[in-house]
Structure 1
Amino acid sequence: MPIRQNRPPTDEYVEDFLEHAVPSAIPNDRFIDWDSLNTDIDKYEEQIEAITNLEDATEKEFVEGVADALMAADDTREWIDFYFELVGERGNKYSSLEGVWKFYPIQRAIDSGDREEALDLASVLQDVGLQYIVDKGNVRDHYRGMLVGMESHARKNRQGLCFEDEVEERVAEVTEQLRNDGHDVEYDDEYTTAYNDDTGQEKTVDFAIFEDGDLSVAFEANCYKVQGSKPSEIRRSYNHVAQRMRNDGVVFVWITDGQGWESMANVLAESYNDIVDVYNLYQADEHLADDLLSDFNGA
């Protein structure tokens, strides 16, 4: 059975959810991961120094200097990755109108002593504009700027990690309240449990609370900053998971938030109607502890 003690009508629930939804799970001081960014810069100190020494070289000298560095590198791929990151490209290959350069076979060729391969890649980098970057600015500052620009991709994962941190704080707090109420409870993250049926299927949940060593509450945490099809897919999946968990005597709680829900009110309503125990961070702060205490105490 669902644990929610406060069950307003669907429209009131949706209104309350959206009124208190957080815009994003990423706090200002984690918008840019400066520690990781500076670690990347430090990692490429040798490469930065080497290419800075090619400032004001002729085109031929520049191409040969990059090729020489590739031929002498202990980790050729690391140098290739750095050069292409300087021109704003990440991945396993570079492609253009002129062709495709796959880094793994190029790395193998250079490591086997193929200087022509190194010269060809260096020439491509010179064509793309690597020499211009070296001649016209500070390579270290340019690289830092490139990493900041690439942070938009990293923030997609950071959104989920930051939200999980927020949810974990609340799971830890409610576990402590249950413990203070006399229950032998503890919590864990990334817990995998098998369903109590003949399917042999398992489910890994973001957080889990155990009572007397047995799984009692399973939590999933998701934050949506923008609209998309994924929340609807997740809703259907979690509805199925919630039913199976409850069949096993386990409470299933979905904590979700984000301004993406503003344009998905219908999906939110369906989630509440199907799963019931759906909270945003505000609602979790207001109701989750009381709901779980009532459930644990058999109220």
Structure 2
Amino acid sequence: MYLEMGKDELAKQFEENLLDTNRGYNYYVDWSNISGYDKYSIEIHAMDVLINCKEEDFYCKFRELLEKLPNVIEVFPYLFALAKNDRVQVIKNGELKIIGTEIDSENFETFNFNGKRLKENFCEEVLGYYNFFCNMGLKDLFQNLLEKSVQDYIVGVLVGLDSNGRKNRGGTAFELACEPMIREICERHNITVLTQKTFKSVNCISSNDVIANRKADFILINENETKLMNIEVNFFNGGGSKPEEIINSYIQRQDALSTAGISFCLLTDGNCWKGTTNQLKVGLNGLKYLMNFNLAKKGMLEEAIIRELC
């Protein structure tokens, strides 16, 4: 019975049975995100004409490129690593504002990257985009850094941008790893499992303003729809997350949930917890249910679920 175990022994069991990693092959690059540029294949290949272009020829070729293929300006956001959501918004109907010499100055420039919106005063527009190209460093990129292919460069940019999604993929991977275990336990006890839902979406409770809009990894509802449990699942690697901050934030969550009569369990793992015995004891004292994957799998999670929902 893990729930009857002393805090010192439980902390020891926790530290001795941590997962080394939750990173599979799909953690490092989500290749489905390396897309979107293919609809500009003609424009992208046409931009190859600017690679290694001499100074005296660059503006003329740039102007000719925009004249023949106005949509080529929609490729620009791919060249300076604009994040995906911002890139889609700017290309569709948004604007990119860039300040001048002082951050609080009203002297800023506005750029639109929708090729269909090139105005009639074409010469002025082209000069504006050319200045943008120069000031953003893209002219130097084409003249001195690129050697063969704009498309290869864009693929590299997108792979680099995708690294920003690794933290989310790490969390999602651990949720997916824990979900079968949670569902198996709940099926044995006729408990309903909801994933990634807000508390206000659960009809059988009247959530207060403090928790109504919070999203839960897992919400468990007993057979009579009279008791609920929130299970949060997280995997923390070292180097960024601080155990003290993690524990404190989840103690606050537990306290907020308790005001609505909802029990709470934190299922967490990762090398962030190595050598944190004292902080684990704080967590074990402050949180009613704190466990890692190994403890949960060996029966601690089912003990907690039975105690709260059965």
Secondary structure of 2:21's aligned partner: coil
- Quickly say closer, same or farther: Cα 1:261–1:126, change in 2 above 3 A: same
Q: Aligned partners of 1:62 and 1:215: how far apart in 2?
A: 70
- Quickly say closer, same or farther: Cα 1:241–1:44, change in 2 above 3 A: same
Give structure 1 stretches of 5+ with no counterpart.
Answer: none
Check whether the contact 1:63–1:126 (CA below 8 A) recurs between aligned residues.
no
Secondary structure of 1:251's aligned partner: strand
Q: How does 1:143-292 map to 2 (within 5 A)?
A: 143-178=154-189, 183=190, 185-193=191-199, 200-202=209-211, 203-211=214-222, 212-214=224-226, 216-228=228-240, 231-246=243-258, 248-287=260-299, 288-292=301-305
Secondary structure of 1:129's aligned partner: helix
- Quickly say closer, same or farther: Cα 1:230–1:122, change in 2 above 3 A: same
- Quickly say closer, same or farther: Cα 1:148–1:103, change in 2 above 3 A: farther
**CA positional deviation for 1:172:** 2.2
Q: Which residue of 1 aligns with 2:111?
A: 106
Letter in 2 for 1:9: G
Q: How does 1:22-37 map to 2 (within 5 A)?
A: 22-37=19-34
TM-score (norm 2): 0.74
Q: How does 1:72-83 map to 2 (within 5 A)?
A: 72-74=69-71, 76=73, 78-83=74-79
Aligned residues: 281
**CA positional deviation for 1:280:** 1.2
- Quickly say closer, same or farther: Cα 1:141–1:187, change in 2 above 3 A: same
Secondary structure of 2:80's aligned partner: helix
Q: Aligned partners of 2:44 and 2:144: how far apart in 1?
A: 15
1:17 equivalent to 2:14? Answer yes
| Farther off after superposition, 288-297 or 275-284 | 288-297
Give structure 2 stretches of 5+ with no counterpart.
Answer: 88-95
Identical pairs, percent: 22
Check whether the contact 2:208–2:260 (CA below 8 A) recurs between aligned residues.
no
Letter in 2 for 1:238: Y
Per-residue CA deviations over 1:168-212 (Å, capped at 9, x if unaligned) read: 33322222222xxxx3x3211222226x89963224322101123
Secondary structure of 1:25's aligned partner: coil
Check whether the contact 1:256–1:279 (CA below 8 A) recurs between aligned residues.
yes
Check whether the contact 2:234–2:268 (CA below 8 A) recurs between aligned residues.
yes
Q: Aligned partners of 1:204 and 1:278: how far apart in 2?
A: 19
1:293 equivalent to 2:306? Answer yes
Per-residue CA deviations over 1:106-142 (Å, capped at 9, x if unaligned) read: 22798444222112123334443233344x1333333
Letter in 2 for 1:235: I
Letter in 1 for 2:44: I
Q: Which residue of 1 aligns with 2:41?
A: 45
Q: Aligned partners of 2:231 and 2:63: how far apart in 1?
A: 53
- Quickly say closer, same or farther: Cα 1:284–1:261, change in 2 above 3 A: same
